[in-house]
């Protein structure tokens, strides 16, 4: 098992080199507001279980959440999740759905002749379970996912498994999580060529600030591949002799690109404020000499009776940003 995972990690890639990239979209408004990556959400929000199955817990019992986003380029995507606690011995089960609709496009052949309209959509359905090891603060969880994708006339079917582990000290409210996501394969490829899935290893930490209504989140993403920085020609400089000095991101820059920060204000209250910063998004999508606030995200949540409404705005570039709204969490008890 260790050898298989090691080989998979060594070959893992990011940035468009794998299929089913929609699996890496934020699972809900809370995650999106906190920088797009949160692995330690042990609370009522069942969408947390989509990214880290170890966070599936009894607080999610009979909670249903539905989210919708008008994503970049008028792409629409949404998520939904529900959890049910069988009893205190069997504990909690979870189901989740992630759906992406690319919309409608005009098709043309090599000669520029119209071939009509076409579309594309992708969906992943997951079933998960988490178990608290008796007399310990350790939780283990797993998701099994079935993935379906249709892009124009090409279709693909795949499957994946997520594994998660969580240490949760309730007295000190310290949470540490480790997740290995998207271990899987294509059952049927688009066009006879099998592609890799977006395997990811991530580590998360969160803690409530003492005497302050704040919860801090730090996530280290894409740990399966250390070097995720790349040279940007726009950042190249020219010295006095006319020599071009290439942009070469250093160790610290590369380390920051693995890091996502988030903070919740009033995390235990009916009204919550959420802020996040994604370093990799900021570095890759920022425009030189322009303040675009790339990588910044913010949102809020408001509970009214048995329903909680959430909204998130995430900044990508000057030309692109996205809003996740709805974020309706319903207590079905």
Q: Where are the domains of the chain?
A: 2-331
Query: Which stretch of 61-70, 130-139, 150-159, 284-293 has the lowest confidence by average pLDDT?
Result: 284-293
Categorize the per-residue pLDDT at 6 as very low, low, confident or very high, splitting at 50, 70 and 90: very low
Query: Can you tell me the distance from the alpha carbon of 232 to that of 214, in angstroms, rounded to the nearest whole number?
Result: 36
What CATH number matches the domain at 2-331, 3.40.190.10, 2.40.160.40, 2.102.10.10, 3.40.920.10?
A: 2.40.160.40
Categorize the per-residue pLDDT at 228 as very low, low, confident or very high, splitting at 50, 70 and 90: confident
E runs forming strands in the chain: 63-70, 76-87, 91-108, 114-132, 138-151, 154-169, 174-188, 200-208, 214-220, 237-238, 244-245, 259-265, 271-278, 296-304, 307-315, 321-331
- What value does the mean pLDDT take over residues 130-135? 92
Q: What is the pLDDT of residue 167?
A: 97
E runs forming strands in 35-90: 63-70, 76-87
Query: Which stretch of 41-50, 66-75, 120-129 has the lowest confidence by average pLDDT?
Result: 66-75
3-state secondary structure of 36: coil
pTM of the model: 0.86
Q: What is the pLDDT of residue 239?
A: 58
Q: What residues does 175 pair with on adjacent strands?
A: 168, 206
Query: Which stretch of 126-130, 237-241, 299-303 has the lowest confidence by average pLDDT?
Result: 237-241
Could you give the percent of the chain with pLDDT greater than 70? 86
Residues 147, 161: contact at Cβ < 8 Å?
no
In this predicted structure, the answer to whether residue 157 has a pLDDT above a threshold of 50 is yes
Residues 104, 119: contact at Cβ < 8 Å?
yes
Nearest residue to 79 (alpha-carbon basis) of 51, 116, 38: 51
Query: Which stretch of 159-163, 177-181, 288-292 has the lowest confidence by average pLDDT?
Result: 288-292
Which sign does the torsion angle of CA 169, 174, 176, 177 carry? Answer: positive
Could you give the percent of the chain with pLDDT greater than 90? 61
Q: What is the pLDDT of residue 12?
A: 36
> Which of the pair, 231 or 158, is modelled with greater confidence?
158
Query: Can you tell me the distance from the alpha carbon of 212 to that of 191, in angstroms, rounded to the nearest whole number?
Result: 55
Structure tokens at 77: 């995507």
Categorize the per-residue pLDDT at 70 as very low, low, confident or very high, splitting at 50, 70 and 90: confident
- What value does the mean pLDDT take over residues 164-185? 96
Q: What is the pLDDT of residue 232?
A: 64
Q: What is the pLDDT of residue 329?
A: 73
Residues contacting residue 191 through CB under 8 Å, at least 6 positions apart: 154
Q: What is the pLDDT of residue 30?
A: 93
Helices (H), the chain: 2-11, 29-33, 48-51, 251-256, 279-285
Q: What is the mean pLDDT of the chain?
A: 87
> Which of the pair, 57 or 328, is modelled with greater confidence?
57
Structure tokens at 171: 């007295």
Residues contacting residue 220 through CB under 8 Å, at least 6 positions apart: 202, 203, 204, 258, 259, 260
In this predicted structure, the answer to whether residue 47 has a pLDDT above a threshold of 90 is yes
Q: Kindly report, residue by residue over 87-108, the tens digit of the pLDDT.
A: 888 889 999 999 999 998 889 8
Q: What residues does 122 pair with on adjacent strands?
A: 100, 149
Phi-psi region of 270 (alpha: psi -120 to 50; beta: other; left: phi over 0): alpha
């Amino acid at each position: 098992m260790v050898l298989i995972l090691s080989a998979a990690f060594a070959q893992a890639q990011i940035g468009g080199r794998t299929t089913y990239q929609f699996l890496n979209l934020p699972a809900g408004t809370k995650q999106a507001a906190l920088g797009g990556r949160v692995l330690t959400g042990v609370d009522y929000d069942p969408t947390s279980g989509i990214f880290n199955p170890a966070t599936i817990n009894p607080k999610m019992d009979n909670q249903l959440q539905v989210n919708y986003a008008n994503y970049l380029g008028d792409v629409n995507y949404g998520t939904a999740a529900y959890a049910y606690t069988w009893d205190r011995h069997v504990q909690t089960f979870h189901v989740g759905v992630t759906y992406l609709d690319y919309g409608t496009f005009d098709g043309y052949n090599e000669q520029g002749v119209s071939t009509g309209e076409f579309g594309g959509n992708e969906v992943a359905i997951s079933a998960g379970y988490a178990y608290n090891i008796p007399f310990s603060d350790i939780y283990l969880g797993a998701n099994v996912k079935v993935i379906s994708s249709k892009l124009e006339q090409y279709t693909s079917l795949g499957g994946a498994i997520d594994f998660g582990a969580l240490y949760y000290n309730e007295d000190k409210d310290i949470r540490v999580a480790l997740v290995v996501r998207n271990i899987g394969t294509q059952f049927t490829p688009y066009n006879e060529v099998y592609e890799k899935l977006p395997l990811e290893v991530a580590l998360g930490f969160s803690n409530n600030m003492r005497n302050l209504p704040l919860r801090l989140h730090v996530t280290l993403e894409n740990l399966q591949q250390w070097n995720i920085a790349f040279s940007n020609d726009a950042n190249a400089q020219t010295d006095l002799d006319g020599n071009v000095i290439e942009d070469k991101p250093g160790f610290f820059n590369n380390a920051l690109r693995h890091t996502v920060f988030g903070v919740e204000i009033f995390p235990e209250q009916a009204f919550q404020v959420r802020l996040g910063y994604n370093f990799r998004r900021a570095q890759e999508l920022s425009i030189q000499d322009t303040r675009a606030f790339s990588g910044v995200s913010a949102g809020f949540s408001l509970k009214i009776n048995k329903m909680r409404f959430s909204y998130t705005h995430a900044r990508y570039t000057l030309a692109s940003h996205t809003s996740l709204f709805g974020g309706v969490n319903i207590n079905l008890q």
